[in-house]
Amino acid sequence: MHSPEEDLANTVREMADTLFHRGPDGDGVWCDQSAGVGMGHRRLSILDLSAAGAQPMFSACGRYVVVFNAEIYNHLNLRADLSFDGASVAWRGNSDTETLLAAVAHWGLRETLHRACGMFSLALWDRDKQELQFARDRMGEKPLYLARIAGGWAFASELKALLAVPGFDARVCRDAVAAYLAYGYVPENQCIFRDVQKVSPGHIVSITPDAMKPEVLEFQSFQSALNGALENRIASQQGSLDRLEDVLSTVVGEQMLSDVPLGCFLSGGVDSSLVAALMQKESTKPIRTFSIGFSEERFNEAPHAAAVAKHLGTEHTQFIMSEEDALRLIPDLPKIYDEPFADSSQIPTALLCRETRKFVTVALTGDGGDEVFGGYNRHVMGPRLLSKLQLVPQGVRRCAGSAIAACGPSILEEDGWLRRMASAIRLPVTALDKTAVLAPYLGEINDIRALYDHLTRGIYDPAPLMKDDIALRPLGLSFPVEGAEWLMAMDSVTYLPGDILVKVDRASMAASLETRSPYLDSRVVTAAWELPLEMKISGGKGKRILRTLLDRYVPRDLIERPKQGFAIPLDRWLRGGLRQWAEERLFDEALLDLAGLEHAAVGKLWERHQAGTVNNGAKLWTILMLLDWISHYRSFLGGIRSVDSKAYLGQTV
């Protein structure tokens, strides 16, 4: 028989072991049975590789215990600030975790996090107040789940760790399924499991033994940072470019701080090329850069990345992904993305991370540049499209949309005349597909919010696919900006944390690779929103100021080309190499029932796709990722593990 404390420690250790990939370099467990608290940690050693950086870590005063999945990039500055502020600290090591604890002991958690620049999720136990606090970085780079269990709470960096918790009820949330089908990811305000919530970016959640429910406190959300930036918006453009370069250079320099090998993802686009250029400027030797290409020429951007790398003088490595590589990876996707996730660029992202990890432990990325500086086509073209649509009577728009939709998929085939024409005028590969998705709803788009909904949804209306009558939960967001800036703000709090950052965090951590995103540093985000819109979007192009800044390092002709992204030919794969795999799931009645999907509706989507009457590739991929996730976790769904000991709090990061 184990003692209650041994049971608690064993469970926390079991939770941590499920996340070995997030920290293969070490582990630690700490428990206080009298308080009913347990913490576990898996360590990916980046700063201070010695035992002085191990977690869970106690503050010097002994009051606080923390587990910390994070990088605080300005932690050396925080140490200096502590000294200037009169704090006397006998430093034991060089880790940012120790810096955090000393800062919390001196300033408190909220003030510390407001001063900190970085990405993080954390759990902090205050032994004096018997209070457990959770926090997550401003933009949502690092994940943190909080689950209600029988008589207590559990928390973890990934959902799979919660499955090891006695008393965890792994029941699928139907509302979250509907939202997933609509967007291709589970939004920040929902979770695929009932009774589980995501700690909101920029917020602190506090739990005490006597509280009826957690207390939520903001330390700095995107919305509050946006309001502050708009109040300080720069009236004059003079000197803005130099100021932005100074901020980005500082942030990139801080993010290059590492005690292990470090590199940079390089696609050859504006965002990653500028990060690589600033890294090379800061380095005394060639930096390592990595890119992924495709064996299919129309999707392959690797030559562009190689040209930029050659110009910058980096030590460049490129990986060429074949269709066979992608198909071999697909069975691993439910293990990597522990909520259903349908962004097909997850495949090249995961492969890039796996290959990069063979050479370095840390990689800087260009993620966030589009959201912060207005880089998506919808930011540039959306407001103009909306203004033109509003000039056309609704009935006329509805008829035009129906006519476009009735043309069928033949004009959109890979070798069709319309795609050839689009290629000739340098239209992005995905633009025609998005036009086809938008067409049936032209009559319904009357404001910017409706335009955004239709542009960003994978399956616009999931209701016909679902057995239950479920309405999508409104996000309830508002911003003091309009037009393109409203679209940018909306992306920053929905698509960015729900899709882009989930994609990169899970793919990189599955490979035990840490990724860092300079554009998401709070100082860069603030500097970007202080700029007038015309410095970001003008002349039919986005990210104008980043392009101008990049001109100082890379010739424009190496960069300028249509934005492609990691496009994947799902339509063809589902008619070819993935057909048998897909049919095994789409026609498994037990899987469909667990997902709450209508058998006939799913079958009709498949039949029409195979007949070539419509391209349902993206919709089918969304359904397949849900079914494959259910298939992987089906032994847990709807089951509650027995509870043999006192309820507790356990953390793995």
Give the pLDDT of residue 431.
55
Tokens 């990939």: give the residue. Answer: 21
Q: DSSP character for 169?
A: B
pLDDT digits (tens, 9 = 90+) for 288-310: 999 998 876 666 678 899 999 99
pLDDT for 561? 66
β-strand 288-294 against 131-136: which pairing, if any?
A: unpaired
Please report the pLDDT score of residue 225 as a whole number.
94
At residue 155, the pLDDT reads: 96
The sign one gets for the Cα dihedral 358, 503, 323, 294 is: negative
Average pLDDT, the chain: 89
**8 A C-beta contact, residue 132 and residue 154:** no
So what's the pLDDT on residue 211?
A: 72
Segment 242-289, tens digit of pLDDT: 999 999 999 999 999 999 999 999 999 999 999 999 999 999 999 999
pLDDT at 412 over 70: no
288-302, 303-317, 355-369, 510-524: least confidently modelled range = 288-302
Predicted confidence band of residue 162 (pLDDT cuts 50, 70, 90): very high
Question: Given pLDDT bands bounded at 50, 70 and 90, which one contains residue 538?
Answer: very high
* Poorest-pLDDT segment among 262-271, 476-485, 539-548, 619-628: 476-485
pTM over cut 0.85: yes
pLDDT tens, residue by residue, 615-626: 899 999 999 999
CB–CB of 70/57 below 8 Å? no
pLDDT band at 442 (very low <50, low <70, confident <90, very high): confident
Measured between alpha carbons, how far is residue 404 from residues 87, 115, 439 in Å? 68, 52, 6
Strand order in the sheet with 57-58: 57-58, 64-72, 118-126, 131-136, 203-207, 215-218
Q: Residue 218's beta-bridge partner residues?
A: 203
pLDDT at 415: 55
Q: To 10 degrees, what angle do helices 377-389 and 483-493 make?
A: 130
Model confidence pLDDT, tens digit, residues 489-503:
999 999 999 999 999
Angle, CA of 442, 446 and 451, to the nearest 5°: 70
Q: Is 260 exposed, middle or buried (0-12, 13-18, 19+ CB in 10 A)?
A: middle
Tokens of 458: 């994978």
Contact in structure between 318 and 359 (CB atoms under 8 Å): no
